[in-house]
Amino acid sequence: MRRAAILACAVGMLSMGFVMPSYQARRRPAQLPVVVLDPGHVYPTINISDCIPWPNAEWKSMGGVSAWKGWSVPKGEQGIAIARASHCLFPETTVVFVEFGPHRVPIGSKGLRFEWGSSEDLPLLTKPSTP
């Protein structure tokens, strides 16, 4: 009897246009505001190797001192984190890709303070597997 009542209630709700909520995986934000705590965690020449996957070729070409033209990341600088990757030699180290105006900077997560969220909330970039 109880089962019939639940079924009738469900049919009635659906006939009135009620839609059951769907539960989807949490979407990761595309960008997170960060502040540099320690510029010593910047990887200024990692873009000349294939140690980490990059968001795209433009980021890789702009992600090192050769593209920064004398600029360096000062302590307290605010930027936008867009993705993360694991360091090739130290997998426990998270490298965060941060945009500081026109500059693209790979920096260890320990050198950053996230204004909200954490590096875990960023998309994780991985290298394509080789057959």
pLDDT category, 3, cuts 50, 70, 90?
low
Residue 19's pLDDT is 46
Residue-wise pLDDT tens digits, 18-52? 444 444 444 445 699 999 999 999 999 999 999 99
Residue 128's pLDDT is 77
Neighbours of 55 (CB within 10 A): 16
pLDDT category, 84, cuts 50, 70, 90?
very high
Convert 60-70 to b/e letters by CB count within 10 Å (16 or more is b).
Answer: bebbbeeebee
